[in-house]
Structure 1
Amino acid sequence: MTILVTGATGTVGRHVIDHLLRQGQKVRALTRNPATANLPEGVEVVAGDLTDPGTLHPAFDDVSAAHLITFGGDYQPLRHGQQIVDLAEKAEVGKITLLGGWQEGTLESAVQASGLEWTFLNPVQFMANFLTDWGEPLRTTGVVREPYGDRKSPPIHESDIGAVAATVLTQDGHAGQAYHLTGPEVLTARQMVRHLAEATGRELRFEELTPDQTRREWGTGGNRPDLSLFRAFTQTPGVSDEDLVEILLQMYGTPHEYGTILTDTVERIIGRPPRTFAQWAVEHAHHFQPHGAA
Structure 2
Amino acid sequence: MILVTGATGTVGGQVLRGLGADHAVRVMARDPRKVGAPAGVEVVHGDYGDPDSLDRALAGVRGVFLVTARVGGDDDEVFLRAARRAGVRHVVKLSAAAVEDDRANDLITRWQRENERLLRDSGMEWTLLRPRSFMSNTLSWAGSIRSEGVVRTLYGASSNACVDPRDIAEVAVRALTEAGHAGRAYTLTGPRAVTAIEQTAQLSELLGRPLRYEEVEPDQARARWGERYPAAVVDALSRSAERQRDGAKVRVEPTVREVTGRPAGSFEDWARDHLAAFMPL
Query: TM-score per shorter chain, which class?
Result: 0.7 to 0.9
The aligned residue for residue 64 of structure 1 is 62
TM-superposed CA distance for 1:39, in Å, is 2.0
Q: AA paired with 2:94?
A: L
**CA distance in structure 1 between the partners assigned to 2:31 and 2:239 by the alignment:** 35
**Conserved in 1, the CA contact under 8 Å of 2:8 and 2:34?**
no
What is the number of equivalent residue pairs in this alignment? Answer: 268
Change (3 A) 1:8 1:77: farther
**Counterpart amino acid of 1:279?**
D
1:287 matched residue in structure 2: 277
TM-score (norm 2): 0.87
What is the match of residue 128 of structure 1?
136
Matches within 5 A, 1:18-33: 18-21=17-20, 24-33=22-31
**Does the CA-based 8 Å contact 1:28-1:44 persist in structure 2?**
yes
* Residue of structure 2 equivalent to 1:43: 41
Maintained 8 Å contact 1:151/1:189: yes
**CA root-mean-square deviation:** 2.3
CA drift at 1:181: 0.4
Q: CA deviation at 1:245?
A: 8.2
CA distance 1:155–1:4, shift in 2 (3 Å)? same
Structure 2 distance, partners of 1:200, 1:264, is 30
Are 2:262 and 1:254 aligned?
no
Question: Comparing 8-17 with 86-95, which one deviates more in the overlay?
Answer: 86-95
- The offset of 1:274, in angstroms, is 1.3
Structure 1 residue 205 displacement after superposition: 2.3
SS at match of 1:128: helix
Q: Name the CA shift for 1:239/1:39 in 2 (closer, same or farther; >3 Å).
A: same
Q: 1:204 aligns with which of 208, 211, 228?
A: 211
Can you give the 5+ residue segments of structure 1 that lack an aligned partner in the other structure?
A: 232-236
| Aligned positions of 1:1-294 closer than 5 A | 2-21=1-20, 24-72=22-70, 76-101=71-96, 103-105=109-111, 106-132=114-140, 134-209=141-216, 211=217, 214-215=218-219, 217-218=220-221, 221=223, 224=224, 226=225, 231=229, 237-239=230-232, 247=239, 250-256=242-248, 259-290=249-280, 292=281
**Bigger CA drift: 101-110 or 167-176?**
101-110
Structure 1 residue 271 displacement after superposition: 1.1
Unaligned runs of 5+ in 2: 99-108
> What displacement does 1:98 show?
0.4
Partner-residue secondary structure (3-state), 2:127: strand
Secondary structure of the corresponding residue to residue 199 of structure 1: helix
- More helix by percentage: 2
| One-letter identity of the residue aligned with 2:267 | F
Question: Is the 2:154–2:221 Cα contact (8 Å) retained in structure 1?
Answer: no
1:70–1:77 contact (8 Å) kept in structure 2: no
Instruction: State the TM-score, normalized to the length of structure 1.
Output: 0.83
**Mean Cα deviation higher: 155-164 or 136-145:** 136-145
Percent of aligned positions that are identical: 36
Distance 1:122 1:79 in 2: 20
Q: What CA distance in whole angstroms lies between the structure 2 residues aligned with 1:172 and 1:227? A: 44
CA contact (8 A) 1:51 1:78 kept: no
